[in-house]
Amino acid sequence: MLEKFRNMGRTDRILRFILGWALIFLGLVYTGVVDDVLLNGLIVAFGLMNVISAIVSVCPAYIMAKISTIRQVNTDSGRRLKAPDVDLDPAQLESNKELRRKLQFSIVLPMIALLVVFAFIAHDLDHRAEMMSLTRHVDVSAELAARETLQRKTPGDALEKETRPSPAELTISELLTGARLFVHHDSQGNILSSRFNTSDADEALSRSWSRQLQTLLPADTLSARGMMMFGDEMLIWSSSRVEGTDHWYTGIIDSPTAHSITSYLISPGFLVLICAVSWLAIWSSTYIVGIFVDRMEKNSRQLQYRSLHDALTGLPNRQNVNAIIQRRLNDLKDESECVVLVMIDIIDFRVINETLGYALGDQLLSQIADCLRKVEPETTDVVRMGGDIFCLVGVVDQNRVNASRLANQAHDTLECAHELNGIPVGLQIRTGLSLGPADASRPEDLVRFADIALAQAKSKRVKDCFYQQDQDSHSIRKLALLARLRTAIEQNELTLVYQPKVDIASNTLAGVEVLVRWYDDEYGQVSPAEFVSWAEKSGLIDKLTQWVLINAEKQCREWRDRGIVIPFAINLSPTNLFDKKLIPLVTQLVNEGSFGDGMLELEITENAVMEDPERAVQAMRVLAALGVKFAIDDFGTGLSSFSYLRTLPVSNLKIDRAFIVDTDNSDKDAVLLRSMIKLGHGLGCVVTAEGVEDEEALERLRHYHCDHVQGYHICRPVPADKLVLWLQSCNWPACERAA
């Protein structure tokens, strides 16, 4: 029954046992430490308590303080279980132990120091008291001498007074009991009266005194004091003379040298006191410190729990994921097993928050967490990485199919109707997977790889994606280049190339499309298809477009000044139409620069318009009023709405390369191409075909009555000087005319 209360370690028990018996001996057998029977009884009781504690291995003070001196920290783990599901890290526990020790010392040591100071004070007081009583002995000689002087001066029977002691004198003689010797003598050492001789008056001492007194008592003094050696004893003497006579009263007492502090400190009484106080100090400090550290540990457990768990779902959070992965990696049985990380992103969760509000959004996240908890709960941990990103950390057989199965379970459990306050909400997720230790053995790398795989899944719009090493180098390159893009724009490191568009019917140069180029010293040529999309995501696109517009206008002016008049087509990104600086800049370039007279065409994609049709149409109308033309770029690949096409101020439809390249493969492609050309014409637009790579394509487009063509077959995008050379050398008669 006592088993569960056991809290004393082996050393603790042995010490208590020995000390307990020692106390019993002191209080019961020796009894000389303290005079008091009650105190001795208490010492015995205390000793007995310790012996019993040591035998049953249970210390009631430890129970109160919730501590234990048993090494395997049984009670510690017991308390840990009570704590909210999290173990304090070993460093923290170690530092708490250290703190516990320091605090205990800081209580016990001052208590012992206080006790020693108290002993000094007590000893000093005691010493003073003893000195006072000694002084009383010594002063008796002066008192008696003074009385006799007085008696001799007053009339009366002196002899009678001398022989019959007065009651006061009897009292005085009682005081002399503590003196070694008290004599009434003359300056030669002859005893004048023996009535003051103390009971322990020492013949040898009396003789010794008589021998020394002639040198010690000067003839003309009334009193003298001093120390004398008697054998190896140190004594104090005090003599007083009766005025006008040769009568001396002398008292000799022991010197209080025996009453030293050292002897006091090593006296058994004091040592027992020290032990009792130290014991009390240790126990009380253990109790106080125990409560303090215990509470502190509880708080740090709660803090640690909060810092490692998500408050909304109760799932472990990003700070915890590395430890979870590491634990799973350590628990792998053999090489047939692996740890899989499934990084999950909820598509368009932002829309749910915006539409239903954050409260319902939070509710949905909790539901998602509950669903994920049910995915292979034995072998899988669920982590909320933040926002709408969750992560499954599972153990599967070393096989991608099994890893995919885990991802599929996540898809199955989440991609169903969830109900929020009676509103059914459908979810779609994308997942990125990494495998440990196949992809990496460090948890942080596995997390990064799963993130990269997730980004791939999102950009490729596929359900899930496994991590592949080349994606990583791509990401590092992307990050590095993204950091340099801003400086590249600011420091004019970008260049422009121009790709001609020709009018098939008239064989004239219809214009050039301006395309941006970036050559990075470390990474070489970077494709605009890459960096334009990064610029769009990072918000740099407005600066980039402004740079292109300004520099293209400069080139247009330079050519115009040389007599080469060519319309320019410049690409706009979807968000450019909503840039506040775009309209003022284009207005300036049109009014004051070379982009007037319909020389500027802006190419926008269908998606750019569809993002916010109202605002897009408004901006396009303002620019169209300046004489700026608009072309729909990559027509056929976006999500255009024909009703908007009708309302847009567009004068050019650029059919995407995909429809030109593939047309010879199937009749359906040909039908599509012809329909698109007809549609463009129907809307009153000029139709341009992109990506014309050979003569056959050109002939086919001519046959379909396409207006303009652009592609490698005519000319690749080239720098300005090369374009002039091309103009001079090409076999497009109209171009020669333009040059």
Amino acid at 647: T
The region of 348-356, 485-493, 688-696, 699-707 touching ligand C2E under the rule CB under 6 A is: 688-696
Partner whose footprint covers residue 57, from Mg ion, ligand C2E, none (CB < 5 to 8 Å by kind): none
Sole residue written with tokens 């247009």: 556
Partner whose footprint covers residue 629, from Mg ion, ligand C2E, none (CB < 5 to 8 Å by kind): none
Residue 83, token pair as written in the block:
């704590």
The region of 177-185, 639-647, 663-671, 686-694 touching ligand C2E under the rule CB under 6 A is: 686-694
Please select the residue that binds ligand C2E; options are 391, 395, 435, 548, rule is CB under 6 A: 548
* 141 Cα distance to chain centroid: 82
Q: Is 692 exposed, middle or buried (0-12, 13-18, 19+ CB in 10 A)?
A: buried
Nearest to 304 by CA among 1, 104, 84: 84
Describe the strand order of the beta sheet including 181-186 as a list of residue ranges: 191-193, 181-186, 247-254, 233-241, 223-230
Nearest to 319 by CA among 183, 234, 208, 443: 443
Residue 573 touches ligand C2E, criterion: CB under 6 A: yes
x/- letters, 604..643, toward Mg ion (CB under 5 A): -----------------------------xx---------
x/- letters, 682..711, toward Mg ion (CB under 5 A): --------x---------------------
Three-state SS letters, 108-125: HHHHHHHHHHHHHHHHHH
Beta carbon nearer to ligand C2E, 104 or 575: 575
The continuous run of DSSP H or E covering 96 comes out as helix 90-153
Return the DSSP state at 253: E
CA separation (Å) from 266 to 27, 106, 260, 275? 18, 25, 10, 12
Query: Shortest Cβ contact with ligand C2E: which residue?
Result: 711
Residue 693 touches ligand C2E, criterion: CB under 6 A: yes
Beta carbon nearer to ligand C2E, 242 or 685: 685
Residue 519 touches ligand C2E, criterion: CB under 6 A: no
What number of other Cβ atoms are within 10 A of residue 374's Cβ?
11
Residue 148 touches Mg ion, criterion: CB under 5 A: no
The region of 178-186, 410-418, 553-561, 565-573 touching ligand C2E under the rule CB under 6 A is: 565-573
The region of 86-94, 481-489, 527-535, 582-590 touching ligand C2E under the rule CB under 6 A is: 527-535
Closest distance of CB 711 from ligand C2E, Å: 3
Cis previous bond, 437, omega within 30:
yes
CA separation (Å) from 150 to 156, 161, 489, 529? 12, 12, 122, 131
Please select the residue that binds ligand C2E; options are 532, 650, 653, 677, rule is CB under 6 A: 532
Closest distance of CB 527 from ligand C2E, Å: 5
Backbone angles phi, psi at 241, to 5 degrees: -100, 145
Beta carbon nearer to ligand C2E, 313 or 571: 571
x/- letters, 475..514, toward ligand C2E (CB under 6 A): ------------------------x---------------
The footprint of ligand C2E on residues 151-190 (CB under 6 A) is none
Three-state SS letters, 354-420: HHHCHHHHHHHHHHHHHHHHCCCCCCEEEEEEECCEEEEEEEEECCHHHHHHHHHHHHHHHCCEEEE
Beta carbon nearer to ligand C2E, 297 or 633: 633
Amino acid at 150: L
Residue 575, token pair as written in the block:
């968000």
Size of the site for ligand C2E (CB under 6 A): 24
Partner whose footprint covers residue 527, from ligand C2E, Mg ion, none (CB < 5 to 8 Å by kind): ligand C2E
Which region holds residue 508: left if phi is over 0, alpha if psi is between -120 and 50, else beta?
beta
Partner whose footprint covers residue 717, from Mg ion, ligand C2E, none (CB < 5 to 8 Å by kind): ligand C2E
The footprint of ligand C2E on residues 588-627 (CB under 6 A) is 603
Amino acid at 512: V
Residue 711 touches ligand C2E, criterion: CB under 6 A: yes
Residue 712 touches ligand C2E, criterion: CB under 6 A: yes
Residue 542 touches ligand C2E, criterion: CB under 6 A: no
Per CB under 5 A, residues contacting Mg ion are: 571, 603, 633-634, 690
Per CB under 6 A, residues contacting ligand C2E are: 499, 515-516, 527-529, 532, 545, 548, 571-573, 603, 633-634, 657, 690-693, 710-712, 717
